[in-house]
Amino acid sequence: MSDGPPQTANIGEIPLHADEVHVWQASLDADPAAIERLFGYLSPVEREQAARFLSPKDGNRFAVCRGILRELLGGYLRCPASDVCLEVGARGKPALRVDAGLRFNVSNSQGVALYAFALGREVGVDIEKIRPEVAFQGIEDRYFSPRERQELRNLPEKLRPEGFFLCWTRKEAYIKARGDGLYLPLDSFDVSLTPGEPAVLNSQDRDRWSVYPLPLRPDFAGSLVVEGDKIPVRMWEVSGYAVETLEVSDQRLPE
Ligand SMILES: CC(C)(COP(=O)(O)OP(=O)(O)OC[C@H]1O[C@@H](n2cnc3c(N)ncnc32)[C@H](O)[C@@H]1OP(=O)(O)O)[C@@H](O)C(=O)NCCC(=O)NCCS
């Protein structure tokens, strides 16, 4: 854990050690100059993907999300962002084409992105805007386990939207850490979801993973799943070229 006042630094100046995880949060609603700069890092395929969005706002958010990912990866790899070569695994998880030991994962929701990076250990991250109107439309019946549905029903009504999205992001972060995408049935494992209580994963391979809640704005839920035990997590916010220390946490929650 880093103490003291928030600091600023340049991407690429913060070394990633083998025994830690870095998480970056970024707004995807960038100004035109930043969009242009970040768009310039994209591969031809990514540029086509950005152009396929029906709304220019969504296309720009995609480009900014990928551009920042490339900028962060370039910082860790000490190479230009446009030289970073990405590929997609058999079940959809993006990775570096040349294995430098650097693992990462990305998530975005409603114009906010989260990025997680680690050396030699898998990571999965998920962010969701807490939208009460989305919760309880049958999603929990379809994707949550019986134990999760019961825990959700037991919550006081005002905590249910947050509990719902804590559950959602923990489940997604876990399947993203494993790289499985939706090949792993979401009701085949459990997570805890009560706000303010420890994050718990109950899966066949639970000894392999740790689940961390991420300190985000109150209208967002975010979760991180890391391969390993008691791994310090450090978190920053991306703002333009410079980065600001937003929040740092090395707390590993008990299983
Ligand atoms: C694609 C999926 C991995 C995540 O989708 P999501 O939560 O909608 O989107 P996120 O923003 O969190 O993550 C998308 C990013 O995850 C990464 N990703 C894609 N497939 C992945 C996989 N198999 N493993 C890990 N990461 C993956 C990519 O970087 C992707 O970004 P991109 O679209 O710019 O390429 C997959 O789990 C999915 O489709 N989930 C559906 C969500 C749902 O219905 N959940 C039910 C409630 S629990």
Asked if residue 13 has pLDDT above 50, the reply is yes
Could you identify the atom of ligand 1 that is nearest to the CA of residue 65? Answer: 34
Check if the beta carbon of residue 12 is closer than 8 Å to that of residue 74. Answer: yes
Mean pLDDT score, 164-182: 95
Query: Which of 172, 183, 190 maximizes ligand 1 atoms within 8 Å of its Cβ, making it the mutation to test the pocket?
Result: 172
Domains of the chain (ranges; CATH) run 8-249 (3.90.470.20)
Spacing, Cα 125 to ligand 1 middle (Å): 9
Alpha carbon 26 to its chain centroid, in Å, reads 11
Token readout for 133 is 């109107």
Classify 246 as helix, strand or coil.
Answer: strand
- Phi and psi (nearest 5°) for 201? -115, 130
Distance in angstroms (rounded) separating the CA atoms of residues 67 and 6: 24
94 lines ligand 1 (CB under 6 A): yes
Could you identify the atom of ligand 1 that is nearest to the CA of residue 106? Answer: 29
Q: What is the pLDDT of residues 201-217, one digit of tens each?
A: 999 999 999 999 998 88
Q: What is the pLDDT of residues 83-102, one digit of tens each?
A: 999 999 889 999 999 988 99
Mean pLDDT score, 19-42: 91
DSSP 83: G
Residues in Cβ contact with 83 at an 8 Å cutoff, skipping those fewer than 6 apart: 74
Which residue is it, tokens 């825990």? 151
- Confidence label for 240 from pLDDT (cuts 50, 70 and 90): low
Closest Cα to atom 13 of ligand 1: 107
Is the pTM value of this prediction over 0.85?
yes
Asked if residue 242 has pLDDT above 80, the reply is no
Cβ density class 178-207: b for 16+ within 10 Å, e for less: bbbeeeeebbebbbbbbeeeebbbebeeee
Query: Which of 176, 178, 183, 214 maximizes ligand 1 atoms within 8 Å of its Cβ, making it the mutation to test the pocket?
Result: 176
Asked if residue 113 has pLDDT above 80, the reply is yes
Asked if residue 250 has pLDDT above 50, the reply is no
Classify 81 as helix, strand or coil.
Answer: helix
Distance in angstroms (rounded) separating the CA atoms of residues 71 and 86: 13
- Phi and psi (nearest 5°) for 136? 65, 40
Asked if residue 175 has pLDDT above 80, the reply is yes
